[in-house]
Chains A and B, each alone.
Chain A
Amino acid sequence: MSAGTVLRRVAAVRTGDGALIHAVVDGSDDAPVTLVLAHGWTLAQASWDDVAHLLTPKVAAGELRLIRYDQRGHGRSTWGRYADDVAELSIDQLGADLGALLDQLVPTGPVVLGGHSMGGMTIMCLAAARPELFTDRVGGVALVSTSAGDLAPSGEKLAERLQLKLAPGLVTAAIGGARLVERFRQLVPPSHPRHRKIVRELLYGADATDEMVIAGAEIMHASTVRAFAAFYPALGQHDKRTELKALSGVPVEVLVGDSDKLTPQRHSRQLAEALPDAALHVADRTGHMLIQERPRLVADAIERLLTAATAGRAAA
C-alpha cells in the first residue's frame, strides 16, 4: 500500500440463501485489526460516513481495515430468500448475514464490531448464535442507540393496544401496496421542510444541524417501504436480553443520546446492567442518530476498542 492513498474494494458477499450483501472494504488486508460497521433500520452504510471519515487516517496509515456494508434489503444488498415473502424475517437473519460477511471477508485476525440501532441488535444476534466468535475473533463491540429487546409497545395504554392490534394488518398492507405507498412518499421528499421537521423531531437531538438532518433524511428516503414494513415486526420480536452472555467476555462501549425517542436511554442502561464491564456513555442533547450527531464520541469509543483488540492480539 502506497502512502497517501486508501485501498478500497467493493465486495458482494453471497449468503447461504443467495442474498448479496454489498460491502465496501477500505484498507489493506494485512492491517492489524478490522472494524465492521452495521447500520440501522431503513438506513444504509452511508449513515456511518461521518464516523468512518474520522477513522480514515488510521486506514491510510495501514493500522485499520474498515468494512461498511448494507444490511439485507437495505441499500444495494438484496433480499435473498425473503424476495417474495418476508413473514420469516428476523433480526437473527441479519446476525447470520454479519457472520457470513466475517467468514468471507475477515477469515482471520482480530475484529471490532460497531452497530447502530438495528445494527447493534444484529451484533447481539450474532453473539447469541455464534458465541465462539466472541471468544477468539471479536475483540470489541460498540453498541450505539440500540436495544436488547422490549421494543414493542407494552399494551398498557389504549393507544398502544390499538397499535398492537393494527400493526400486523398495516404491515401486510404496506408490503402489498408498497408501490403505491412509495408514490405518496415521493410527494414529500427530504427537500420538503415538513419532511425535515418530522425527521428532526423523531430522530435528532437539539444540537443537530440541518445538514445532518438532510443527510439522514436522504438515506432513509432511499430505503424502501418494503424494508420499513418488513423489519418493523422483526424489531418488535427482537429479544436478546437473556442471550447476551457471549458479549460479557469482550470490551463493550454502549452509547446513547439522552433524547433518543426510538431506543430511549433505558434500553442502553439495561444493556449496561446486563454487561457489567461495558462502558455506558449518554450524550447530551442527542437523538437516535448519534453516529451522525456525535461522530467524534463514537470514533473515540471505537478507537479505544481497536486499541484493546490489537493489544489483546499482541498479548496473545
Chain B
Amino acid sequence: MTSTLETQTTATREPSGAVREVGVAIIGSGFAGLCMAIALKRRGETDFVLLERAQDVGGTWRDNTYPGAACDVQSNLYSFSFALNPDWGRSYSEQPEIQAYLQRVAEEFDVRRHCVFGAEVAGARWDDEARRWLVSTAAGDFRARILVSAAGALADPTYPDIPGLDTFAGTVMHSARWDAEHDLSGEKVAVIGTGASAIQVVPAIQPIVESIAVYQRTPAWVVPRTDHPVKPLMQRLYRRVPGFQKAVRGGLYLFREFLVIGLAKRRRFLKPVGKLAKAHLERQVRDPKLRKALTPDYTIGCKRILISNDYFPAVAAPNAELVTAGIAEVRPHSVVSKDGVERPTDTIVLATGFHVTDLPIAEKIRGRDGRSLAEVWEEGMVSNRSATVAGFPNMFLLVGPNVGVGHTSMVYMIESQVNYVDDALRTMDAEALEVLETTREAQEAYRALIAEKSKGTVWLGGGCASWYLDKHGHNTTLWPDFTFRFRKLTRKLDRENYVGVPAAAPATTPEVAA
C-alpha cells in the first residue's frame, strides 16, 4: 500500500490514467486539510489523499507571501492543540514562520505521503449508483467514499471590477499572489483596499517606494498590536514546564472570547474597544483630515477589527496619501479617482480580499441531483452544523459556512470541525454505513439557530457592509456566539439529523431507505 501511494504522490500520472480508489479525499492542505489528515492518521487510517492544487502544503499561509504578511492572532493560540510550538520567535508570527510550522507538522505526522500536489480540483460529483464521489483533478481522477472540502475561505482572491484595469501598462498584483521578483523600490505604488492584507502590506512597502497612494472605500477600526519577540527564557519554559504553554494558550483564548460578549451579546461592551481604537488613531495621526478619513462610521467589530502599530504612521508618512474619493478608472500609467485627480502609478497592489461568501469550491461540487453546491446555495449558504449539506451525501465541509471567526483563532474552529467529521466517519464505520446524509430539517433548524444567534450582533446591526454577510445581508460566514459553544455543538455527531444507508442496502435514495 505504502509503495503504491508513494509512486502516486508524484502527481505525474496521466490524467487519462486509471481512476484511483480512496477512502477519503480531502481538498486542500492548509490548516484544515492537514488537521483532518492528522486526525485520520492518528487513529490508524491511511486510505486518504489530500488534493492540493499547489506544490506544497500550507494553503492561505503558503499563498500570502506579501511583505508584512502576519497573523492577527497570537501564535500560541493560532496553532494546533496537538502540536504546540515552544519555538515561536514572536508573539504574533509572520507568514514564513507559520508556513514553516505547517510544513514541519506535515512532516512530523507523515502527511506528505498522502498529498497529491498539482491536483487542482476541476469537479467533484456524487455517483449515487456507486455511492462514491468522483473527483477529477489536474493530477488525475479519484473515486472516494468520503469527500472533505478543506478548501478554505481565504483561498481565491477577488479582483475588483475597475474600468480600465486591464489596460494598465504597469504591474498589477494581488496581495495573495505576490511577485517577490518585482522590485517596488522607487516606484509610485497604488494599494487598493484597506482590509487585513492592506494594513500589513502598506507599512511594509511604504519605506522603500517613492510614493504610495492607498485607495480606501471604508476605513477599518484598528487597535494596537501587542507584538513582541518571545524571550529565550519563555521558550525554555514552554519547552520544559509541562502545561505552561497550554495555560498561556488558554489565557489568550479566554481573553479573546470576552470579545464575543460585545460582538454578539451586548454591544455596549464594545465601547471600551472602540475607545481604544479611537485613542490609537488619535495618538498616531495628527492631521485632522486624515484622521477623519480614517475614522469608521460604523460600530467597531462590524467589520473585522484589525491590529497594527505601523499602518497609521505609514499612511501618514511624508510619501503617502490616503485617497477616499473612490476610483473612477485606471489608465495605462495612472489611476484616476472620482474627484478628477489622476495619480501617475507604476504598480497596482490589489489588497481586495477573497471570495468568502461565494466559496469557489461550491461551484465544483455536484450533489445527488446534479446541482452544484453553489446552485443549492443560491439563496445563501445553508448547512447542518457548518459541515454537511442535504443532497450531498458523504461530503463534509471544513471552513465552510458559519464557522468564521474574527476575534480568535480559526484553528480552534477547525479542530472542532475535524472532531465532528471524524466522529461522523467513525459512526459510519461502527454502524457499517456506506452513505451518511443530513436532512433538510436539520439544515433549516441550523439556519434558524444561526439567524437567532445573529440577531442583535454587531455584524448585522453595526451599520456596515462586511464580507461576513452574503448578498442577501445574512450572516452565512461567521459563527455568531462563543466558540466553545460551537465546540460543544460539534463534539459528537448529531446522529438523529442524519439518514444512513448500510453498506448492504440496495442502491436507492436514502429517503426511501430510511
Give residues in A with beta carbon < 8 Å to B: 1-2, 4-12, 20-22, 24, 44, 46, 60, 70, 75-78, 186, 190, 218-219, 221-224
Contact = CB atoms under 8 A, between A and B. Distances in A.
Contacts of B331: 2
Given A5-B336, A5-B340, A5-B342, A10 B320 contact: yes
Contacts of A186: 282
Interface in B91-114: none
Given A20-B319, A22-B319, A78-B318, A8 B288 contact: no
Interface in B247-262: none
B342 A2 contact: yes
Given A12-B211, A44-B287, A75-B287, A5 B341 contact: yes
A222 B341 contact: no
A180 to B, nearest CB: 14
A11 B209 CA distance: 11
Given A44-B287, A218-B288, A223-B286, A7 B318 contact: no
B47 interface: no
A76 B342 contact: no
Contacts of A70: 318
Contacts of B317: 12, 20, 22, 76
Given A9-B188, A12-B317, A76-B318, A222 B288 contact: yes
Contacts of A7: 334, 341-344
A5 B344 CA distance: 12
Name the prevailing secondary structure of the A interface residues: mixed
A231 to B, nearest CB: 16
Contacts, number: 69
B320 A9 contact: no
Contacts of A6: 340-342
Contact of A21 (B188, B286, B288, B318): B318
Nearest to A4: B340
B319 A10 contact: yes
B221 to A, nearest CB: 20
Given A76-B317, A219-B288, A10 B341 contact: no
A224 B320 contact: no
A210 to B, nearest CB: 16
A135 to B, nearest CB: 31
Contacts of B318: 12, 20-22, 70, 76-78
24 contacts: A6-B341, A6-B342, A7-B334, A7-B341, A7-B342, A8-B343, A9-B188, A10-B211, A10-B213, A10-B319, A11-B210, A12-B211, A12-B317, A20-B318, A21-B318, A22-B317, A24-B321, A44-B287, A46-B289, A60-B340, A75-B287, A221-B288, A222-B291, A223-B286
Interface in B236-285: 282
Contacts of A78: 318
Contacts of A4: 340
Contacts of A21: 318
A151 to B, nearest CB: 25
Contacts of B336: 5
A34 B394 CA distance: 71
Contacts of A222: 286-288, 291
Shortest 10 CB-CB distances between A and B: which pairs? A12-B319, A22-B318, A12-B318, A218-B288, A20-B318, A5-B342, A222-B286, A10-B211, A10-B321, A8-B341
Interface size class of B (residues with CB under 8 A): 20 to 34
Contact of A11 (B211, B334, B340): B211
Interface string B59-85: 000000000000000000000000000
Nearest to A227: B286
Given A2-B342, A12-B211, 15 more contacts: A1-B342, A4-B340, A6-B340, A6-B342, A10-B319, A10-B321, A12-B319, A21-B318, A22-B319, A75-B286, A76-B318, A186-B282, A221-B288, A222-B286, A222-B288
B277 to A, nearest CB: 16
Interface in B110-158: none
A32 B334 CA distance: 22
B316 interface: yes
Given A2-B342, A76-B318, A9 B287 contact: no
A229 to B, nearest CB: 15
A186 B275 CA distance: 14
Interface in B303-335: 316-321, 331, 334
B261 to A, nearest CB: 29
Contacts of B340: 4-6, 60
Contacts of A5: 336, 340-342
Task: Name the residue among A70, A76, A218 with the largest chain B CB count within 10 angstroms.
Answer: A76
A8 B211 CA distance: 11
A190 B316 CA distance: 21
Interface string B156-193: 00000000000000000000000000000000100000
Nearest to A214: B288
Task: Name the residue among B286, B336, B343 with the largest chain A CB count within 10 angstroms.
Answer: B286
Contacts of A221: 288
Contacts of B289: 46
Interface string B199-225: 000000000001101000000000000
Contacts of B288: 46, 190, 218-219, 221-222
Nearest to A14: B318
Nearest to B331: A2
A190 B282 CA distance: 14
Contacts of B343: 7-9
B156 to A, nearest CB: 33
A264 to B, nearest CB: 28
Contacts of A75: 286-287
A11 B344 contact: no
Nearest to A76: B318
A186 B331 CA distance: 43
